[in-house]
């Protein structure tokens, strides 16, 4: 069953990548639902083909409207569809995927993101762009400056809606919604947290179609998930040993804090592993170059935070490693979804210390998976779980006494002599 089932514009179908032959589960459900004109909430796993699921029907409908909107579409404000994404990297990727399809039917897609000079974006918008992919803050800024108007808006898409809320964009989203006319609204998400349920009830019409292409909050079955129980101080050594012993060609490593990203990257480089770091403090040009190098397999390992790695698509990425477990269980599903995309298989490895067992249990409850802990013979677990009644280790007590003594000596030496 090919894409001909949907009676889409043949030019759109012909412009799909050669490897995209059969529609995925979310595409089979979402495309006809969107073409029906109703609002849609689509719950589907990361890497399941959501971009084409909303991109194909939207571009099909806009192409059909071209004759009716030919005069209006020459205006700079003639935005007919807006896709809101949580990060610059994801927005750029969506734009990259949709551009060949749009060009096939004489439409233009533009990407508008924060963290970049706004002047070139304003300049580009002097030319018609029927579809805009944007991060919330920059889209709102351009709208408030009058550079963008939404009078002709027909379609609004929230891509990875759960992460938009997790990252604190609700105020920007509400401000944008207040500027937009009635339109067809589409939400795509891998998880369904309570906060998203509230937004759905506020934004989508009561007759909206809810689709569940896969089990909610679950990763695809093609991902082989392994959880290693290790000491916190052994994580870097375990990571290095795993990368070298398996000889993985590409590994995406998730770390929670930006400072820890740089520190881990230095350790991997010292161990002779071709590695680069990616986080929000890096300049945009360097971030883009690093990501391109990783995609081109010039780098074996990319160590990144969630904000940057969100939305990264690497063809046939074999391995994702959680050096730190995320504090939010839903983020785990998104992280490991960077591998096993488009029907391929992949490996998801997590290194879990005693302090992260609570996070692991939350992930188990969310996903409904057992996710058993496995120990490594060469890295025995010696850390002890802490609780309210546990006593402080003797070494820690001694260290505290030494610190207290140093403070007393320093305080004494700083005292002024009595007159």
- Distance, in Å, from the CA atom of 206 to the CA atom of 218, rounded to the nearest integer, reads 26
Return the residue matching tokens 């993101």.
Answer: 113
Q: In a 10 Å sphere around its CB, with 0-12 CB exposed, 13-18 middle and 19+ buried, how is residue 379 labelled?
A: middle
CB atoms within 10 A of CB 5: 12
CB atoms within 10 A of CB 388: 4
- Top CATH class of 223-374 equals alpha beta
Indicate whether 409 pLDDT > 70.
no
Indicate whether 271 pLDDT > 90.
yes
- H helix or E strand, kind and range, residue 186: strand 184-189
- Distance, in Å, from the CA atom of 34 to the CA atom of 323, rounded to the nearest integer, reads 39
Q: What is the pLDDT of residue 182?
A: 95
- Predicted confidence band of residue 419 (pLDDT cuts 50, 70, 90): very low
- Distance, in Å, from the CA atom of 372 to the CA atom of 167, rounded to the nearest integer, reads 30
Q: What is the pLDDT of residue 67?
A: 56
Asked whether the beta carbons of 361 and 289 are under 8 A apart, the reply is no
SS3 125: coil
Q: What is the pLDDT of residue 147?
A: 92
- Predicted confidence band of residue 408 (pLDDT cuts 50, 70, 90): very low
| Domain spans, the chain | 3-212, 223-374
Mean pLDDT along residues 213-220: 69
**What pLDDT digit, counting tens, does each position of 359-403 carry?**
999 999 988 899 999 999 999 999 876 554 444 444 444 544 444
Q: What is the pLDDT of residue 333?
A: 85
Q: What is the pLDDT of residue 316?
A: 74
Mean pLDDT along residues 2-14: 92
- Distance, in Å, from the CA atom of 108 to the CA atom of 99, rounded to the nearest integer, reads 7
347 — phi, psi (to 5°)? -120, 135
Enter the pTM of the model.
0.71
Name residues whose C-beta falls within 8 Å of residue 300's C-beta, 6 or more positions apart in sequence.
243, 248, 249, 250, 251, 273, 274, 275
Q: What is the pLDDT of residue 305?
A: 92
Q: What is the pLDDT of residue 89?
A: 83
Indicate whether 214 pLDDT > 80.
no
Give the residue, 162 or 84, on which the prediction is more confident: 84
Indicate whether 224 pLDDT > 50.
yes
Indicate whether 218 pLDDT > 80.
no
Indicate whether 264 pLDDT > 50.
yes
**What pLDDT digit, counting tens, does each position of 244-261 carry?**
999 998 999 999 999 999
Contacts of 33-37 with C-beta under 8 Å, sequence gap 24+, read 33/209, 33/211, 34/58, 34/184, 34/186, 35/6, 35/60, 35/61, 36/209, 37/184
- Predicted confidence band of residue 88 (pLDDT cuts 50, 70, 90): confident
Give the residue, 246 or 415, on which the prediction is more confident: 246
Mean pLDDT along residues 165-188: 94
Considering only the C-alpha atoms of the chain, give the largest distance between any 2 of them, rounded to a whole number of Å.
Answer: 97
Which CA distances in Å does 228 have to 73, 219, 234, 238, 301? Answer: 56, 18, 11, 9, 19
Return the closest-CA partner of residue 242 out of 150, 351, 357, 316.
351
Return the residue matching tokens 């734009």.
Answer: 95
DSSP string, 252-297: EEE-SSHHHHHHHHHHHHHTT--EEEE-TTS-HHHHHHHHHHHHTT
- Predicted confidence band of residue 308 (pLDDT cuts 50, 70, 90): low
Indicate whether 341 pLDDT > 80.
no
Q: What is the pLDDT of residue 207?
A: 95
Indicate whether 321 pLDDT > 80.
yes
Name residues whose C-beta falls within 8 Å of residue 241's C-beta, 6 or more positions apart in sequence.
378, 379
Asked whether the beta carbons of 82 and 156 are under 8 A apart, the reply is yes
Q: What is the pLDDT of residue 103?
A: 97
**What pLDDT digit, counting tens, does each position of 108-135 carry?**
999 999 988 999 999 999 887 999 999 9
Indicate whether 73 pLDDT > 60.
no
Indicate whether 77 pLDDT > 80.
no
- Distance, in Å, from the CA atom of 361 to the CA atom of 104, rounded to the nearest integer, reads 48
Q: What is the pLDDT of residue 68?
A: 58
Indicate the CATH number of 3-212 among 3.40.50.720, 3.40.190.10, 3.40.50.2020, 3.40.50.300. 3.40.50.300
- Predicted confidence band of residue 310 (pLDDT cuts 50, 70, 90): low
Indicate whether 69 pLDDT > 70.
no
Intrachain domains 3-212 and 223-374 with the same fold? yes
Computed on alpha carbons and rounded to an integer, the radius of gyration of the chain in Å comes to: 25
- H helix or E strand, kind and range, residue 157: strand 155-159
Mean pLDDT along residues 169-177: 96
């Amino acid at each position: 069953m090919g894409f001909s089932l949907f009676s889409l514009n043949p030019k759109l179908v012909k412009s799909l990548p050669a490897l995209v032959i059969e529609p995925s589960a979310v595409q089979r459900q979402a495309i006809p639902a969107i073409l029906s004109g109703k609002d849609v909430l689509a719950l589907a796993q990361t890497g399941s083909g959501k971009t084409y699921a909303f991109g194909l029907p939207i571009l099909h409908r806009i192409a059909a409207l071209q004759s009716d909107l030919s005069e209006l579409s020459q205006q700079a404000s003639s935005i007919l569809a807006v896709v809101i994404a949580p990060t610059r990297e994801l927005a750029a990727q969506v734009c990259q995927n949709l551009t060949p399809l749009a060009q096939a039917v004489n439409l233009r897609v533009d990407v508008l993101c924060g963290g970049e000079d706004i002047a070139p974006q304003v300049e580009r918008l002097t030319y018609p762009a029927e579809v805009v992919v944007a991060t919330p803050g920059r889209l709102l800024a351009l709208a408030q400056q009058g550079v963008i108007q939404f009078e002709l808006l027909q379609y609004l898409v929230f891509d990875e809606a759960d992460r938009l809320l997790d990252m604190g964009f609700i105020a920007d989203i509400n401000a944008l919604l207040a500027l937009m006319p009635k339109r067809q609204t589409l939400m795509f998400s891998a998880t369904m947290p309570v906060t998203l349920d509230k937004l759905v009830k506020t934004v989508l019409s009561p007759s909206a179609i809810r689709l569940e292409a896969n089990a909610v909050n679950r990763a695809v079955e093609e991902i082989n998930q392994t959880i290693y129980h290790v000491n916190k101080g052994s994580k870097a050594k375990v990571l290095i040993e795993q990368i070298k012993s398996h000889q993985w060609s590409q590994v995406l490593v998730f770390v929670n804090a930006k400072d820890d990203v740089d520190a881990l990257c230095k350790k991997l480089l010292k161990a002779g592993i071709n590695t680069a770091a990616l986080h929000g403090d890096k300049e945009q040009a360097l971030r883009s170059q690093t990501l391109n190098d990783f995609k081109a397999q010039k780098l074996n390992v990319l160590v990144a935070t969630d904000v940057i790695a969100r939305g990264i698509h690497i063809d046939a990425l074999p391995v994702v490693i959680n050096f730190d477990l995320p504090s939010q269980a839903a983020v785990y599903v998104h992280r490991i979804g960077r591998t096993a995309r488009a029907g391929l298989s992949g490996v998801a490895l997590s290194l879990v210390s005693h302090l992260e067992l609570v996070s692991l249990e939350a992930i188990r409850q969310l996903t409904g998976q057992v996710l058993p802990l496995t120990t490594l013979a060469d890295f025995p677990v010696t850390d002890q779980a802490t609780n309210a009644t546990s006593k402080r280790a003797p070494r820690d007590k001694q260290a505290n006494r030494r610190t207290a003594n140093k403070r007393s000596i320093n305080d004494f030496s700083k005292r002024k002599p009595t007159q």
